[in-house]
Each structure stands twice: as C-alpha cells, then as structure tokens.
C-alpha cells in the first residue's frame, strides 16, 4: 500500500469518519483518522476471508477466556499489515509515534493469563487458523494504578471514554441469557420427560467484534466480546404503572454484569456477580457457536467437528454444563450422545497450582444463580463417579477427591473437576508445571486416564514484543539475517554466528543503551527519579504477589545498601532496580510490598553515601503499553519465584527476547529458557521444587536462616528499625514477622544463594563483551518461545485444526 494511497485514506477518514478539517485537527483527530484507515484495511481482509471461513468443512477453535489483554491496536496492526513505513511517509513530517501513543489500551485482563490469550490470537491470525476469541467487554478494565505517598491507589479504568474505533457492535447477533429462578419438569408432545428452566432474570448479551490481523498473512481472527444490556431498555409496563425508577433500576442491574473486571490475579473472588459474569459470556458464546453451526447447514450432532473449544483456566468451565443443557434441554438430544459431543468439544488449560486460585462455588450460591446447571452437574457427576467406582471399588477417598462436588465441609462445586471431567485434554503451561499438574493437582485424574494430560509451554508474540517494541534491535537483526525471522522465530539462531563479532556486539550495546536512555527519560518524566542509562538495568515487572517474591529483590537491595554504608569505598556495578506491577486491591501483603519498595527507594535514592551506585524505581501503572518501553531496556530479568509456584511466566520470555539475561529459579518456563539458552548464559540460584518440598516436609524454620546469617539479620533489623518508614517500626512488621515466623515462600532459605548469585551478575556485567555475547545468545535461542510454536502445538495435538491455506 503506497504512501499516496494511505495519505488519501487518512484525509478521507479525517473528513468522513472523524469530521474535522485538517487545519484544526488535533492529534486525537489524526489518531482516529489513521486508526479508521487501518481498520478499513483489516475489514477488507475480514470480508475477503468470509467464504473460506464459512466453508462447510472448516473447523474452528473458540478460545474462551474471561480475560484478553491485547494492548493498543494501532501500532501492532500497522506492523502486521506491513505498512508502518509507508504510513510514516504518508504523514510527511507528522509524528506517527505520537498518534500511536495516544491510544488507550483495553485492559481486559489482570496479567499473564489475559496477555497469553492475546498472544495466541496474534499467532492464530498469523498462521491462518480459523479462530474466535470469546470474552467479556468490561466497561471498566483493570484499574489504573497511581502511587500516593508510596501506596498503591486504584483509579477506575475508563478505557471506552474516548470511544473504541476497533470494535464493531453486532446487535443482530445478540443473545438472551437466563439467570436465577428454578426448574420445572414437564412431558413433551412425544411423552418424554423434560426439564425447563424458569429464570427470575434475563439479560441480553450484545457482541462487539474486534478483528485481529495476522502478521503479513492476509488473515484475521475475531475477538468477540459480550456486553450486557437490559432485556428492554425500559420496561413499559412498569413505566405505565408509574414505577419509572424501578424500570431504570432493572436496567442498571442487568448492565452490571459486564461492568468491571475483577482485579484479582490468582485469587478466587467467590462473588455472585463473578459467577454471573462467567456464565453470561459462556452462555452467549455457546449459543453463538450453535447459531453458526446451524447456519452453516450442519446439525448439532457434528458440533464437535465444527468447533473445538479451549477453556482458558476454569473461568469458562461452566461451558461444559451449558453445552449439555443446550443439547439435552433445548435440542432434546439423548444424554449419552450429548455427553460424547461435549467431551469431544472441550479442552482445558490449567494456569496455576496456587490453592487460593482454584475456583469453587458454594453450592447454595451456585444453585441460586444456575439451578438447572446444578442439576446437570449432579447428573454428570453421578455417571462419572459410577465409572470410577467400577474401576476403584471401595476407594471412597479417591471418589471424594474426584467428585465435582466438594463435600468435605461446606459444600462446593469444584470448577477444575468439572473442567477435567468435561474435557478430552488438559494441559499445563510449561514442562515442569504440566508434571506438577499430574502429580500434585490432579493425581487421581491422572491415575484414571494419563493419556488426557499434555504440556504446551507458553509462548509470546515476537511481533508486538520485539518488532513493535524494539525497532532498534529489530533493524539490527534484519541487517544480519534478513527480516523473515518475525514469522519464523527459530531463524534467530543464525545470530549465534555473530555472538563473538566485536562490531556486532558494539551495535548491540548501542541499541541497548539507546533503549535504556529512552526508558530513563520516561522514568524521569513519570517519577522524577534520575537514573543513569549506563548502569545495569535490573528489572522485575509483573503482578505483585508474595510467591513472585518482589520482596526478595528488596532484601538484596537493602543488602547492597548496607554494604555501601559500611564501606564508603566499596565498588560495585552501578545498578538501577526497576519494579512495576499492580497488586489486587484486597491483597494486603502485596500492597505493603509496594509501599516497602517505594520506601526503600526514597531512602536509598536520597542518601549521598550511596553515591548513586544504586537507584530504585517503582514505575506506576504497569500495563502492556508501558511494558513495551521496559522490556527493550532490560539488562537483567528477575524471575525469582519460589520453585513450583510460577506455572510458566511469559515476562521471562519477553525480557530474554529483548536481550536481558535472567536471574532465576528453576520454576515454570525458566527451566526451559535455561535449557535453550545454555546454563552458562543464565544466572541460576535457589531451591528446586523437590528441595523446597523436602524442606517444608522436614519442618522449615525460617528464623534459623536469619540468625545464622548476620548480613540477613542486619537487613531485617534495618527494616524493623523504622529507617525506611520515618521511624515507624511497625509499618513493615507484617512482612518481617511473616518472613521470620512462617515464610511460606522460602525467602529466608533462598536469600544467601540469591545474593551470591547477584554478586556473579555484578562481576559478569563488568566484562561488557562477554555480557553482550551472552545477551546475543539469549536472543538467538528464543525461537522456542514464540507463540507461533505454542499455537501450532495446540492445533496439532489438541484441537486437530488445520490452517486455511497451506503455509508458504
């Protein structure tokens, strides 16, 4: 697409879609004109694909996810369409990056799980797989984070306020969803015994479609997000009776369902509204698939041949019961046949072993929202447990553990068990995690049917996280190995040949320094802290969680601070410690960790004795947009979770892909990253998962580690002294007390190995050529962690899905 054509398109859209004369157009107007022009081109591909997509033999994947975190669309769509340079030319003299930067991102996810879903859509589109991502169009996404006096403050995310150019409302495909009420039995016209559900509320789900274009692929996938609307805007019956406000209230009540994303990451929120959200988007999506299936002239007998449905964690697991309800209650299919179709349709990805994340719903709550589904679940469970009993007669313990209903105390519906029973395949998200899914999480299901268990190690899209975010490095790589690596990441391996090339190393260092300089400017503008771009950028960005151990990083910072204070002539590698991440609003310890980071930052950054050797920064409001500025500037990637706790991690992949070296534990995908890049190019420390388990089993006493290590004791005492809290000795006591008394995440045990490993990092960074060689090798060996590889594995091994056209 030539610059001239784009120029005309921008002018047309400024005129016709935005309605502003060029002379007075603001940057926001220009952003809109460009976005409309890009959307036009995406829509053109979407329409062109219509026939292919709707051919009778095309099977497609529906990716059901309560969260999608795509990031701003404009920059990525320009890149994927291959028109960034021409758009720049078309704008002759205007700043395209400024316009790109104006876009609000759809923050419809918490962290890794939602971002993974977005990476998979990018790869599905790029690889020409027929796919739809189904989710919720939250009016308010994940809160914006600001920092006041060191504390996190949550601000409502009003992402829709400026309007959203990328979505198209499709009222004609709206679906009605029932909620609450009771069930009745009746006999149908053939004399068969049937059940009907009389709800006490109905809401309408209206889909908003965002087409996602693949990288240079001519192909699109759809992100279809459901928004809740009142069944009728005004209930005129009430209105006529004079209950005007009652009618409006009902409307507000219905629209609540898609109002706000629950801001918990790996923490169950057992609220009625959350269950309603889950059911709402699942019911709309299943009905949408049934509609498409029938429209394409197929019968529901073939539903599983037309659709495979991936459950992104247990949030959409109610889909198992909903498909059964549709097939049995609405379409009068015999139970056995419906169950066979259901089992062939679903597969389930587990994303966490954290017990507090495993979803379960109190039975009374579940029954009051979904009375018919509860009955269906009882029946699924009865048949399933009968089977189990024949295989393991008399093993009541096993039966209790496998049951979808937890009856050990207060009764619950276990969503993971429902997902397991209703799926043909379950997978974990990294090799280690998938093993733990078998041995720790679902050992009884594994005994029952080991073939059902698979692993698909996560991946990330190199388009957004290298091509778009790191243009400097992209150009440098292009210059050596050509540009086809963005769609074939294994080709990065050709960079190995240049790892020792001094000229290439210098270019590599120059690009890194440019990226760090840019980030330093952002840090100064957003926090006022001045950091030195030539210092080692040590970065930990991710949700704040005790198992991710941001506070272990802080213990290291205080250790260095203490050493510098004790020895005024100490020479260490100057470092900038950068943190970013949100804490769940109700997670006290995580919020206190943010306060601790900011308090240590305040003290350390201002102390002249530190001689600027270390700087500590907490960059507020970590999101996809900010992440894109941070990854390219990282020297060191902190992946320091307690072994066995991080299912995979994906930030670890993005940082490594941008040339950061990792300091990390043998956890999640770190294990495979280390295997790929080579142990000599990875800073490993800490307990393994088995060692951690043994330590806990033997009666772990964290206090012993502290007392046996004077430096560690000094660090804890310094926190407790009030030095970082204006004399308040109690402020951080919940953290230090927990570390000394319980230390669930084994910081005390891992402290010394971590600090020693950091010393190796310090030394290694002084040899810049060697460091740069390691950095190049990290990038060269990241091929495995492309989401293209992951999506192909899902397609080949789980979905049995074929791309539209054979790949070139």
> Which parts of this chain interact with ligand CR1 (CB under 6 A)?
111-113, 116, 265-266, 313, 351-352, 357, 429, 458, 646-650, 668
- Run of H or E including 175: strand 175-179
Minimal distance, residue 273 CB to ligand CR1, in Å: 18
Please enumerate in sequence order all residues whose Cβ is within 8 A of that of 745, keeping only pairs 6 or more positions apart, or say none. Answer: 546, 547, 549, 642, 645
Pairing of strands 683-684, 661-664: parallel
Residues marked active site are found at: 351, 542-543, 548, 650, 654
Residue whose CB is less far from ligand CR1, 142 or 376: 142
Contact (Cβ atoms closer than 8 angstroms) between residue 172 and residue 614:
no
Minimal distance, residue 111 CB to ligand CR1, in Å: 6
Residue linked to tokens 């029938």: 294
Contact (Cβ atoms closer than 8 angstroms) between residue 341 and residue 304:
yes
Residue whose CB is less far from ligand CR1, 659 or 668: 668
DSSP category for residue 769: H
Minimal distance, residue 112 CB to ligand CR1, in Å: 3
What SS3 state is found at 482?
Answer: coil
Minimal distance, residue 313 CB to ligand CR1, in Å: 5
Cβ atoms within 10 A of the Cβ of 430, count? 25
Pairing of strands 144-148, 151-155: antiparallel
- Residues 95 and 210: their CA atoms lie apart, in Å, by 26
Residue whose CB is less far from ligand CR1, 258 or 787: 787
Residue 95 corresponds to which tokens in the numbers above?
């700043």
Cβ atoms within 10 A of the Cβ of 506, count? 13
Q: Hey, which residues does 539 pair with through a beta bridge?
A: 578, 637
Minimal distance, residue 646 CB to ligand CR1, in Å: 5
Minimal distance, residue 652 CB to ligand CR1, in Å: 8
Residue whose CB is less far from ligand CR1, 235 or 266: 266
Residue whose CB is less far from ligand CR1, 648 or 778: 648
Residue whose CB is less far from ligand CR1, 114 or 207: 114
Residue whose CB is less far from ligand CR1, 433 or 738: 433
CA-CA distances (angstroms) from residue 9 to 24, 26, 96, 97?
18, 17, 15, 18
- Residues 608 and 451: their CA atoms lie apart, in Å, by 62
The burial of 409, by beta-carbon neighbours within 10 Å (0-12 exposed, 13-18 middle, 19 or more buried), is given as exposed
Minimal distance, residue 114 CB to ligand CR1, in Å: 8
- Residues 540 and 556: their CA atoms lie apart, in Å, by 13
Expressed in angstroms, the distance from the first to the final Cα of the chain is 21
- Residues 264 and 742: their CA atoms lie apart, in Å, by 24
Minimal distance, residue 306 CB to ligand CR1, in Å: 27
Minimal distance, residue 540 CB to ligand CR1, in Å: 14
Pairing of strands 131-136, 661-664: unpaired
Cβ atoms within 10 A of the Cβ of 622, count? 20
Phi-psi map region of 217: left, alpha, beta (phi>0 left; psi -120 to 50 alpha): alpha
Contact (Cβ atoms closer than 8 angstroms) between residue 657 and residue 782:
yes
Contact (Cβ atoms closer than 8 angstroms) between residue 70 and residue 223:
yes
- Residues 287 and 15: their CA atoms lie apart, in Å, by 39
Minimal distance, residue 119 CB to ligand CR1, in Å: 10
Q: Which of 797, 800, 710 is nearest to 751 (CA)?
A: 710
Minimal distance, residue 538 CB to ligand CR1, in Å: 21
Contact (Cβ atoms closer than 8 angstroms) between residue 435 and residue 761:
no
Give Rg (Cα) of the chain: 27
The burial of 714, by beta-carbon neighbours within 10 Å (0-12 exposed, 13-18 middle, 19 or more buried), is given as middle
* Helical H segments across 576-701, by residue range: 588-606, 624-630, 651-657, 670-677, 689-697
CA angle 405, 184, 339 (to 5 degrees): 50
Please enumerate in sequence order all residues whose Cβ is within 8 A of that of 599, keeping only pairs 6 or more positions apart, or say none. Answer: 150, 724, 725, 731, 732
Residue whose CB is less far from ligand CR1, 116 or 283: 116
Residue linked to tokens 């492309």: 786
Residue whose CB is less far from ligand CR1, 150 or 428: 428
Torsion angle defined by CA atoms of residues 443, 110, 66 and 466, in that order, rounded to the nearest 10 degrees: -90
DSSP category for residue 73: S
Minimal distance, residue 215 CB to ligand CR1, in Å: 21
Instruction: State which residue has the least CB distance to ligand CR1.
Output: 112
Torsion angle defined by CA atoms of residues 730, 731, 735 and 741, in that order, rounded to the nearest 10 degrees: 10
Contact (Cβ atoms closer than 8 angstroms) between residue 39 and residue 166:
yes
Minimal distance, residue 689 CB to ligand CR1, in Å: 14
What SS3 state is found at 435?
Answer: helix
Residue whose CB is less far from ligand CR1, 356 or 680: 356
- Run of H or E including 537: strand 536-541
- Residues 652 and 786: their CA atoms lie apart, in Å, by 12
Residue whose CB is less far from ligand CR1, 561 or 794: 794
């Amino acid at each position: 697409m030539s610059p001239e054509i784009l120029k005309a398109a921008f002018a047309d859209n400024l005129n016709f879609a935005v309605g502003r004369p060029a002379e007075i157009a603001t940057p926001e107007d220009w952003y809109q004109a460009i976005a409309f022009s890009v959307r036009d081109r995406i829509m053109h591909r979407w329409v062109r694909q219509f026939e292919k997509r709707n051919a009778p033999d095309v099977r497609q994947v529906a990716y059901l996810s309560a969260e999608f975190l795509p990031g701003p669309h404009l920059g990525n769509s320009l890149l994927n369409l291959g028109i960034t340079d021409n758009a720049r030319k078309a704008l002759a003299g205007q700043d395209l990056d400024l316009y790109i930067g104006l876009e609000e991102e759809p923050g419809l996810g918490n962290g890794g799980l939602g971002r993974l879903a977005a990476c998979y859509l990018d790869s599905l589109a790029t690889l020409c797989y027929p796919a739809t991502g189904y989710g919720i169009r939250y009016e308010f996404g994940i809160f914006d984070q600001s920092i006041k006096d060191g504390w996190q403050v949550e601000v409502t995310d009003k992402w829709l306020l400026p309007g959203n150019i990328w979505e198209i409302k499709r009222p004609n495909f709206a679906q009605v969803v029932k909620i609450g009420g009771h069930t009745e039995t009746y006999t149908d016209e053939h004399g068969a015994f049937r059940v009907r559900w009389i709800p006490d509320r109905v809401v309408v789900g209206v889909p908003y479609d965002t087409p996602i274009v693949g990288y240079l692929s001519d192909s699109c996938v759809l992100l279809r997000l459901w928004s809740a609307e009142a069944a009728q805007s005004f209930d005129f019956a009430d209105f006529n009776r004079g209950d005007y406000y009652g009618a409006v209230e009902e409307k507000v009540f219905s629209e609540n369902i898609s109002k706000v994303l629950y801001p918990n990451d790996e923490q169950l929120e057992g609220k009625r509204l959350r269950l309603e959200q889950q059911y709402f988007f699942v019911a709309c999506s299943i009905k949408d698939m049934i509609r498409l299936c029938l429209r394409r002239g197929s019968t529901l007998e073939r539903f599983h041949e037309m659709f495979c449905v991936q459950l992104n964690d247990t949030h959409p697991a109610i889909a198992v019961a909903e498909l059964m309800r549709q097939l049995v209650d609405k379409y009068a299919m015999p139970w056995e046949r419906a169950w066979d179709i259901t089992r062939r349709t679903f597969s389930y990805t587990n994303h966490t072993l954290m017990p507090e994340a495993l979803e379960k719903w109190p039975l009374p709550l579940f029954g009051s929202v979904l009375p018919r589904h509860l009955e269906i679940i009882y029946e699924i469970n009865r048949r399933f447990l009968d089977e189990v009993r024949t295989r393991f007669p008399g093993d009541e313990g096993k039966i209790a553990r496998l049951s979808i209903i937890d009856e050990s105390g207060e009764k619950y519906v276990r969503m993971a068990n429902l997902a397991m029973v209703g799926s043909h395949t379950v997978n974990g998200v990294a090799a280690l995690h998938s093993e733990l899914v078998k041995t720790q999480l679902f050992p009884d299901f594994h005994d029952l049917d080991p073939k059902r268990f698979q692993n698909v190690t996560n991946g990330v899209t190199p388009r957004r996280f290298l091509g778009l975010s790191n243009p400097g490095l992209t150009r440098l790589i292009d210059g050596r190995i050509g540009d086809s690596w963005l769609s074939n990441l294994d080709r990065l391996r050709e960079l190995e040949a240049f790892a020792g090339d001094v000229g290439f190393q210098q270019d590599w260092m120059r690009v890194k320094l440019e990226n760090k300089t840019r980030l330093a400017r952002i840090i100064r503008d957003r926090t006022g802290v001045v950091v030195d771009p030539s210092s080692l950028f040590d970065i930990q960005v991710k949700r704040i969680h005790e198992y991710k151990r941001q506070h272990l990083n802080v213990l290291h910072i205080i250790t260095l601070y203490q050493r510098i204070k004790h020895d005024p002539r100490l020479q260490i590698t100057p470092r900038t410690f950068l943190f970013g991440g949100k804490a769940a609003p109700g997670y006290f310890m995580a919020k206190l960790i943010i306060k601790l980071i900011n308090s240590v930052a305040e003290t350390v950054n201002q102390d002249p004795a530190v001689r600027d050797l270390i700087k500590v920064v907490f960059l507020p409001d970590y999101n996809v947009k900010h992440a894109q500025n941070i990854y390219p500037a990282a020297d060191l990637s902190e992946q320091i979770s307690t072994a066995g706790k991080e299912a995979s991690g994906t930030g670890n992949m993005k940082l490594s892909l941008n040339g950061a070296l990792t300091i990390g534990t043998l956890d999640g995908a770190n294990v495979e990253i280390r295997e790929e890049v080579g142990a000599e190019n990875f800073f490993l420390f800490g307990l393994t998962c088995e060692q951690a388990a043994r330590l806990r089993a033997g009666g772990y006493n964290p206090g012993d580690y502290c007392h046996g290590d004077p430096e560690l004791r000094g660090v804890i005492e310094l926190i407790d002294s009030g030095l970082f809290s204006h004399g308040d000795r109690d402020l951080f006591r919940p953290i230090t007390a927990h570390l000394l008394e319980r230390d669930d995440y084994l910081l005390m045990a891992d402290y010394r190995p971590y600090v020693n490993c950091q010393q190796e990092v310090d030394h290694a960074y002084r040899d810049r050529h060697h460091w740069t060689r390691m950095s190049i090798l990290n990038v060269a060996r990241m091929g495995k962690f492309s989401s293209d590889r992951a999506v192909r594995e899902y397609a080949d091994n789980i979905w049995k899905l074929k791309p539209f056209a054979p790949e070139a």
